[in-house]
A and B are shown apart, each in its own frame.
Chain A
């Protein structure tokens, strides 16, 4: 499974060498990283919220761990989104940060929100209480995404940023295909990491159980 996803990722990388955008040149290729990573981050947060809901519904501690891992990955991908976005902004417009990119601003807000998730989780002792509280917070997050998006869009009216047209590139056939492969690769990567981390946690738990049984 792991091997397949990594191959997938590398294929996407190879494809990079194929089309190069007329306007922006090589730097535009960051787009193939940036947007799939962003979409993957959203997917992770969504999955985390889904598992959180399952946990509250079924009171299942498994679901709590799954939710945590998903959100953990989401934050990592979110940080990558911010970084790649920043690099792209630097390459395209010469600034490290721009408030006019609604995508980036949204991610910044979400990054803050989900970082607080970890602060919350680590300041409550492990147990059913922590799982419940984390789950509720994860659900808040997923609701915050559309509302923040709306808010940020409206905010542009009075923040009057320097307007950079940040429209995506025109997607020619081969570009679109590359994009899709990159997206698939990112999602597969996330999925593999998710499974890996979960397996690791399960192993931890089993070890703990064994240790206790031996005591």
Chain B
């Protein structure tokens, strides 16, 4: 599903990724670790198509609608409510049975009670949960998650772990994390960036 050969990306003078080779087969679960600044986020953004490589080649065999991307920022509009945000992305991603799916996800992640409140009033952990709802909303086949457990409290972590387990079959995952042990039962491969 993802294939990288000598993938490089630089920002001005700074070389963040260099001649990276990567193979992620369909249904795989690849965990990416490495210290801050090693290029985990950059790698994910490259795979999502937000960045273009400055060297080497990268092939991602799925179109935009099949990718679920969880970034560092929650990527939700602060002035809109949780429900409105998911409505928006639901429409853009052409999610079938949008309302039911939105409701279900909000409940799954414990946000149903605050669904009509402005996202700007949410705590960081709640924003992360909302971001996860947005990521899973359109049932993507390829999931690119950048430190998904960031900012989640114990309950949120539980919810996410359960959701990942359920989604595991038939989907491909590329996850950047500082905490690979938590995901080890699901992992099929790992990559460490220097």
Contacts and interface: CB of A to CB of B under 8 A. Distances in A.
Contact of A126 (B12, B15, B51, B52): B12
A212 B13 CA distance: 11
Contacts of A128: 51-52, 54
Contacts of B54: 127-128
A127 B14 CA distance: 11
Contacts of A125: 11-12
Contacts of A59: 52
Interface in B127-160: none
Interface in B1-48: 10-12, 15
A126 B11 CA distance: 7
Looking at chain A's contact residues, the main secondary structure is: loop
Interface residues of A, number: 6
Nearest to A212: B15
Contacts of B51: 128
A16 to B, nearest CB: 47
Nearest to B10: A127
A60 to B, nearest CB: 12
Nearest to A59: B52
A128 B58 CA distance: 15
A126 B12 CA distance: 5
A63 to B, nearest CB: 15
Interface in A111-125: 125
B93 to A, nearest CB: 24
A158 B190 CA distance: 71
Nearest to B15: A212
A116 to B, nearest CB: 22
Contacts of A126: 12
A59 B52 CA distance: 10
Nearest to A130: B12
Nearest to B14: A125
Nearest to A128: B52
Contacts of B12: 125-127
B18 to A, nearest CB: 9
B51 to A, nearest CB: 8
Contacts of B52: 59, 128
A93 B32 CA distance: 72
B16 to A, nearest CB: 11
B94 to A, nearest CB: 27
12 contacts: A59-B52, A125-B11, A125-B12, A126-B12, A127-B10, A127-B11, A127-B12, A127-B54, A128-B51, A128-B52, A128-B54, A212-B15
Given A125-B11, A128-B51, A128-B54, 9 more contacts: A59-B52, A125-B12, A126-B12, A127-B10, A127-B11, A127-B12, A127-B54, A128-B52, A212-B15
What are the 7 closest A-B residue pairs judged by CB atoms, nearest first?
A128-B52, A126-B12, A125-B12, A125-B11, A127-B11, A127-B54, A128-B54
